[in-house]
Amino acid sequence: MKGSGRISYTLRELAERFGGEVVGDPATRVHQVATLEHAGAGTLAFLANARYLPQLAHTGASAVLLAPSMRDATALPRIVCEDPYVHFARVSTLFNPPRAAVPGVHPSAFVDTTARVAPDAEIGPHAVVGKEASVGSGSVVGAGCTLGERVRIGAHTRLHARVTVYDDCVLGNRVVVHSGVVIGADGFGLAMAEGRWIKIPQIGRVVIGDDVEIGANTTIDRGAIDDTVIEEGVKLDNQIQIAHNVRIGAHTAIAACVGIAGSTRIGRHCRIGGAAGLAGHITIADGVEISGYTAVTKSIDKPGVYSGLYPFEANREWRRNAVHLRHLADLAERLRSLEKRFEALGRSKA
């Protein structure tokens, strides 16, 4: 198990660091987190959902994190806290810190003579750092990464293997970018003239703020003229497409396979579910939650939860209902006509 053999902490020490009330032996030591089902000696599990209460009775964990409403659900040593899942996240980070940079440039890497790499940064095997690019203190550029010309990477940022960052793009501090991500490829900018497409040069950048995490194989297109901007604290899952000139507000989280068309602006503290699609040139207000598979075709100007999922059903029923949906406009018109006739009939009787 990752983290085994690392320093352990008592429940008292964890509560002093992260809050919560210790019930039971405060000297109980733990060295790793685990699920209730697979926990063993020396691990700390958590219970945030009552449906897992049966697992609590049989867990092998040395201690657990519980909400106040479940304070007496076990005799195990425990930390009682308002949000066990958040507490678990903080403890897990304590037990499983990211690997520190190993200062130096691998012999197989290429770093242009005009580039600036901090002495304590790590440049991995076969990585390329282009002209006038810069890599900040404590940052890691993983194996096979390519940084284009004038790319700027902040401090303590980690690029996992095979990340590509095109010319002039900027990544802030403590950014995590997973394998296969492409930052700064051309946006889909085309103009039709005489039956042929003319490519519009994409001359903007991608600018990414501090503490952003970008999941594997996500693509973020550079701006057509102005920049594509990902503000601080944004969390992006795997395989997301972000088109040119999009702006995503701080601390927004977006799940896998979401597609965001060009020039859309998404507010702060939004949450977007998996496989949702957002049309271009729209604005999403702060604090909006969009359910998975929802198609958003117009702006949302008020916070709240928005859903557009058509529920699945047996294929035969779906095909029958699809036929009705195809004629929905005609049915609505017929209904309006009937309403007018009834109104006219009511007036004539009056």
Tell me the catalytic residues.
244
In terms of Cβ atoms closer than 10 Å to its own Cβ (0-12, 13-18, 19+), residue 322 is exposed
Q: b/e string for 289-304 if b means 16 or more Cβ within 10 A?
A: bbeeebebeeebeeee
Residue 217: count of CB within 10 angstroms of its CB = 16
Residue 128: count of CB within 10 angstroms of its CB = 18
CB 11 within 8 A of CB 63: yes
Query: Can you say how many angstroms the Cα of residue 264 is from the centroid of all Cα atoms in its chain?
Result: 17
d(CA 162, CA 143): 6
Strand partners, 79: 22, 65
Alpha-carbon radius of gyration of the chain: 27
Token pair for residue 172? 């802030």
